[in-house]
Chains A and B, each alone.
Chain A
Amino acid sequence: DGGITQSPKYLFRKEGQNVTLSCEQNLNHDAMYWYRQDPGQGLRLIYYSQIVNDFQKGDIAEGYSVSREKKESFPLTVTSAQKNPTAFYLCASSTDIVPGRGSPLHFGNGTRLTVT
């Protein structure tokens, strides 16, 4: 079955360490996204990529980095520069680079990152 896989589901790290969250999709989607979700807040866009080897900053990109070397993969690195990294991270993809045309985002099951 096609879908988006995020791993791991839970991740614990010490403050000051970089950590990479995995996101893989086999839906053949061009566009991929990383969102962060905090209690009481909407999904906030970190980075998105419309095509391989290209990506754009979202609203809260500071302290994060991404790469898009393959169509299927869009890993997110949370660096030590991110002031408040503890959150639920969601990866998504869509077949159309413009979701507003009716191509909905498909989400992975998320990674809950806890930094102490």
Chain B
Amino acid sequence: GQNIDQPTEMTATEGAIVQINCTYQTSGFNGLFWYQQHAGEAPTFLSYNVLDGLEEKGRFSSFLSRSKGYSYLLLKELQMKDSASYLCATGDRGSTLGRLYFGRGTQLTVWP
């Protein structure tokens, strides 16, 4: 199984930068995903990391350190529409192929 931990809530102001951390413990790490979920809607895919380092995609970047079991999602130039829950999820190379394990999500509120 997996043990995924991320903060429950974060707040920031419009135009600022925010970093959402995720730590995990896994028996067979096979990549880390970040999803965005607005209230009452489907999660949407943001990023995927399987190798160490930073992946940049527009205003969003995701970082992974496999040796530390650590990832973060960096959101720049925050906008009101970025207010959402951000879910960290890991894949498992072990016996439970074909599934992801999700953290509880970090609720981000962006203030004007």
A and B associate: yes
| A contact residues vs B (CB 8 Å cutoff) | 31, 33, 35, 40-45, 48, 50, 56, 58, 88, 90, 97-102, 104-110, 112
Shortest CB–CB separation between residue A47 and chain B, in angstroms? 10
Looking at chain A's contact residues, is the secondary structure mostly helix, strand, loop, or mixed? mixed
How many Å from the CB of B55 to the closest CB on chain A? 11
- Could you say which of A42, A88, A102, A106 contacts B103, with CB atoms under 8 Å apart? A42
| CB neighbours of B87 from chain A (8 A) | 42-43
CB proximity to A under 8 Å, residues B40-57: 40-45, 48, 50
- With known contacts A40-B104, A42-B87, A104–B97 Cβ distance under 8 A: no
| B100:A101 contact, CB within 8 angstroms | no
Assembled-state Cα–Cα distance A109/B44 (Å): 10
**Cβ-defined contact, A45 with B40, below 8 A:** no
Question: Quick one: which of B33, B90, B92 contacts A104, CB cutoff 8 A?
Answer: B33
Chain B residues numbered 61-112 whose CB sits less than 8 Å from any CB in chain A: 87, 89-93, 97-100, 102-105
The one of B4, B30, B42 in contact with A101, judged by C-beta atoms closer than 8 angstroms, is B30
Say yes or no: B4 contacts A45, CB within 8 Å: no
Contact between B104 and A109, CB atoms less than 8 A apart: no
CB distance from A75 to the nearest CB of B (A): 18
Given contact pairs A100-B91, A102-B50, A33 touches B99 in the complex (Cβ within 8 A): yes
Cα distance A107–B44 in the bound complex, in angstroms? 7
Most chain A CB neighbours (cut-off 10 Å) among B33, B48, B99, B105: B99
Determine the chain A residues whose CB is within 8 A of the CB of B48 once the complex forms: 102, 104
Question: How extensive is the interface on chain B, given as a class?
Answer: 20 to 34
Whether the pair B104, A100 counts as a contact (CB closer than 8 A) is: no
Residue from A41, A88, A105, A107 in contact with B104 in the complex, judged by beta carbons closer than 8 Å: A41
Query: Which listed residue, B4, B30, B33, touches A98 by the CB 8 Å rule?
Result: B30
Q: Contact check, A100 vs B44: say whether CB atoms are below 8 A apart.
A: no
Chain A residue with Cβ nearest B33? A104
Judging by beta carbons under 8 Å apart, are B42 and A97 in contact? no
How far in angstroms is the closest Cβ of chain A from B43? Answer: 5
Report the separation of the CA atoms of residues A106 and B99 in the bound assembly, to the nearest whole angstrom.
13
0/1 interface trace, chain B 20-45, chain A, CB 8 Å (1 if under): 00000000001101000000111111
